[in-house]
């Protein structure tokens, strides 16, 4: 596992990502998946887009669910300072510390973890899901509501349709490398961008995203984590 410093500059973070990405393992999930966890973050005291942040703290929630019934088995919540700014491509340096801590507070390690964001569908192959998976040595997949990089055709309009996501020629390293898929999780709605994080394959990412679906756009683990973290944010004072 990595064990690096999180308090570094954006320049150092980018260099670090390139090195860490070499250790990410894209391979089929092994062993039965009995539990799946979802994680999400919210920012305290963020205020309107035009206002300056009042409180620089992030709240992260991890939810553990039974992979068959999708029943909630446990939830964990953490609140901690977040110093790193949001920079496209460096999201993990802003959220991973909180996410890792929340997952660590769950009563048991999940067989699969779903993160809000990219896995290896990233300019340097180290999106949030890949970084967290590497750090915790867990199987992870990234489920994002929009694309960070790469090119793809529009998937069919029906639930279950998906197209390949390949890196742009501009992304250093692999030109046209297959890194994920754009999946229609619900007929007629905007598709999700999924990619493996660590110790999972692209097929696993697509399969579990659809398998955890409940007729709504977001898969249940992610959806539940989002609802829980939103409630937690309001309870702690969204605008101190």
Partner DNA sequence: GCGACAG
Partner DNA sequence: ATCTTGTCGC
Site residues for DNA per CB under 7 A: 40-43, 46-49, 86, 88-92, 116-118, 122, 127-129, 142, 144-149, 170, 226, 230, 233, 238-239
Q: Nearer Cβ to DNA, position 54 or 68?
A: 54
Q: Nearer Cβ to DNA, position 13 or 76?
A: 13
Q: Nearer Cβ to DNA, position 142 or 213?
A: 142
Whether the Cβ atoms of residue 153 and residue 165 lie closer than 8 Å to each other:
no
Question: What is the spatial distance between Cα 97 and Cα 201, in angstroms, rounded to a whole number?
Answer: 24
Residues contacting residue 53 through CB under 8 Å, at least 6 positions apart: 43, 45, 46, 47
Q: Which helix (H) or strand (E) holds 112?
A: strand 112-116
Whether the Cβ atoms of residue 150 and residue 158 lie closer than 8 Å to each other:
no
Q: Nearer Cβ to DNA, position 31 or 48?
A: 48
Q: How many CA atoms lie within 13 A of 63 on its CB side?
A: 22
- Compute the residue count for the chain: 240
């Amino acid at each position: 596992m990595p064990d690096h410093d999180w308090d570094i500059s954006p320049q150092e973070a980018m260099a670090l990502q390139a090195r860490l990405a070499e250790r990410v393992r894209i391979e089929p999930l092994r062993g039965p998946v009995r539990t799946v966890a979802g994680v999400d973050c919210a920012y305290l005291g963020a205020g309107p887009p035009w206002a300056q942040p009042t409180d620089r703290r992030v709240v992260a929630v991890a939810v553990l669910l039974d992979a068959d019934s999708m029943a909630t088995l446990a939830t964990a919540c953490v609140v901690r300072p977040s110093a790193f700014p949001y920079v496209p491509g460096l999201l993990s340096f802003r959220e991973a510390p909180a996410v890792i801590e929340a997952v660590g507070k769950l009563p048991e390690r999940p067989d699969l973890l779903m993160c809000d964001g990219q896995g290896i569908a990233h300019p340097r192959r180290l999106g949030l899901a890949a970084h967290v998976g590497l750090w915790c040595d867990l199987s992870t997949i990234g489920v994002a509501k929009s694309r960070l990089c790469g090119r793809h055709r529009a998937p069919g309009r029906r639930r279950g349709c998906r197209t390949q996501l390949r890196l742009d020629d501009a992304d250093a390293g692999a030109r046209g490398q297959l890194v994920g898929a754009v999946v229609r999780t619900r007929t007629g709605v905007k598709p999700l961008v999924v990619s493996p994080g660590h110790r999972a394959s692209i097929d696993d990412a697509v399969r579990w995203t659809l398998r955890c679906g409940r007729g709504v756009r977001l898969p249940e683990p992610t959806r539940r984590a989002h609802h829980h973290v939103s409630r937690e944010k309001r309870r702690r004072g969204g605008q101190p």
